[in-house]
Structure formats: C-alpha cells, structure tokens
C-alpha cells in the first residue's frame, strides 16, 4: 500500500490550522503530521519530521513565511511548499514564484479549492515516480500552473468576491452562523445570505443543521467542515 504524503501545516491562527488539518485528513493519500504556529517551531518540525509537503502562511509572528520557504528550499530541496495566505503584495508573490512553490492559495480557502490543489500536487508526484521517460503531454502536465477553481466563473447569482467575503465571515464563527446573522454582518438580505450559504453547502465547504431559535422556530445553522 502506498504511504500517504506527510504534510506539515505552518499557520499562526490555531483555529485556521485545525481547519486545514481537517481539510488534509479529508483527502485520500495525505496525512497531517504536525502543526507549527511560528517559523521557529516550523524549523524544529522540519528537522524532526522532514515532511514531503508544507502548507505555509506568509504572516507569522516571528518571521515571514517566505523566509521559511527559502530555508526549506535550501535545506530540504525535496520538500514541496504550498502557500495559503491573504498576502497579495507583489514582492511576496514574486518571491513565492521564484522559490518554485507548488501553488498559491488565497484565504479564505474553500475546501474544494484546497482539495483540487493538493490532489493536483499528488498526481504530479505520482507521475514523477511512475515512469523512466516522459511524453510531451506528461511534461506539460508537470509544469502547468495550478489554478484555484473557486476563482473561475461562479454559478448564476453567485458573485466570486461576495462569496469570498461570506467565507471570511463564516470562518470567524466556529459555532456556526445563520443566514440572518450573515446578512446582518454583510449588509445583505436574509434570502441573499441563504443563497450563498446553500451554494457553499453544495460545494461541500459547509455543513448545515436544523436548530431551534429562542422563539422555538427552526432555523438552519451553517458550519465549516
């Protein structure tokens, strides 16, 4: 049986780190072997575990994640890196590109885009170890840029930027959120908020439960998976 790809998560927010850990566990062929909240802690885990893949945030308490990426590439050239960050600054993106990272995912990352990214990564790794000579199409597959599917055209009635705002608000409510609460926080109607929430349920990003409010009427509460 093929051993799972071992993943180290480098993220300063414990809640987000746990979400990413659950994302990793949900994808066949991967296992999270450690979580680091600082660069110093990440270096310690690297020395001890030497994982095959590292998921790295850019803004960490003691240093930039891009500096840690340089460290990984120098000392562990066969360890791959995916950045998961809110950083969109030109210098950060350029450094990441120059370092040869596998992918660059913008927060808040959906479960679908996360899954697609690391699944594509796994397919490339399998291709690298399954042949002694490559065809032209295989070489193209190895070097093509991975893109986030959630950045592509959204279904009718779903705006990509609004969906990102919705995902950001939901990530701040680990105990779940209702359409009414989401609408109040984003200044949209309850029906619009519910449309976005139900869309994220169909994307397999959210779970939904029927609960009873303070006046006894049932309401749908949405949770991150």
Q: Which residues of the chain does CATH 1.10.10.10 include?
A: 160-224
pLDDT of residue 101: 95
Average pLDDT, the chain: 87
Dihedrals phi, psi of 92, to nearest 5 degrees:
-65, -45
Burial class (CB in 10 A: 0-12, 13-18, 19+), 58: buried
Query: Residues 121-134: pLDDT tens digits?
Result: 998 888 888 777 88
Burial class (CB in 10 A: 0-12, 13-18, 19+), 136: exposed
pLDDT band at 28 (very low <50, low <70, confident <90, very high): very high
Q: Which residues of the chain does CATH 3.40.50.2300 include?
A: 5-146
| Radius of gyration of the CA atoms of the chain, in A | 19
Query: Residues 114-168: pLDDT tens digits?
Result: 999 999 999 888 888 877 788 877 787 777 654 444 444 556 678 877 888 898 8
pLDDT of residue 44: 96
% of the chain beyond a pLDDT of 70: 91
Whether the Cβ atoms of residue 53 and residue 118 lie closer than 8 Å to each other: yes
pLDDT of residue 118: 94
Three-point CA angle 58, 61, 62, nearest 5°: 95
Q: Which of these, 91, 167, 122, lies nearest to 27 by C-alpha position?
A: 122
Q: What is the DSSP letter of 158?
A: -
Euclidean distance between CA atoms 11 and 4, whole angstroms: 21
CATH superfamily entry for domain 5-146: Response regulator (3.40.50.2300)
Residue 174 CB contacts under 8 Å (≥ 6 apart), including other chains: 15, 223, 224
Euclidean distance between CA atoms 225 and 223, whole angstroms: 6
Q: Which of these, 88, 56, 93, lies nearest to 72 by C-alpha position?
A: 56
Whether the Cβ atoms of residue 8 and residue 45 lie closer than 8 Å to each other: yes
- Element (DSSP H or E) covering residue 104: strand 103-106
CATH number of 160-224: 1.10.10.10
pLDDT of residue 104: 95
Retrieve residue 88's tokens: 């969109």
Q: What is the mean pLDDT of residues 18-29?
A: 94
pLDDT of residue 147: 43
């Amino acid at each position: 049986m093929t051993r799972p790809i071992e993943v180290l998560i480098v993220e300063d927010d414990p809640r987000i780190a746990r979400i990413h850990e659950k994302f990793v566990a949900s994808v066949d062929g991967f296992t999270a072997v450690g979580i680091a909240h600082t660069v110093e802690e990440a270096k310690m885990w690297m020395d001890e575990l030497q994982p095959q893949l590292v998921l790295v945030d850019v803004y960490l308490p003691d240093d930039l994640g891009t500096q840690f990426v340089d460290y990984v590439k120098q000392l562990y050239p066969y360890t791959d890196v995916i950045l998961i960050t809110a950083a969109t600054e030109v210098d950060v993106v350029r450094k990441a590109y120059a370092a040869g990272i596998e992918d660059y995912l913008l927060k808040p990352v959906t479960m679908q885009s996360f899954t697609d990214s690391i699944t594509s990564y796994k397919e490339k790794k399998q291709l690298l170890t399954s042949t002694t000579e490559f065809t032209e199409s295989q070489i193209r597959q190895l070097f093509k840029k991975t893109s986030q599917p959630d950045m592509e055209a959204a279904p009718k009635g779903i705006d990509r930027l609004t969906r990102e705002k919705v995902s950001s608000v939901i990530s701040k409510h680990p105990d779940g959120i209702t359409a009414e609460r989401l609408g109040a926080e984003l200044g949209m109607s309850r029906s619009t908020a519910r449309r976005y929430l139900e869309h994220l349920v169909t994307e397999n990003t959210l779970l939904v439960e029927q609960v009873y409010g303070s006046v006894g009427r049932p309401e749908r509460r949405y949770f991150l998976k």
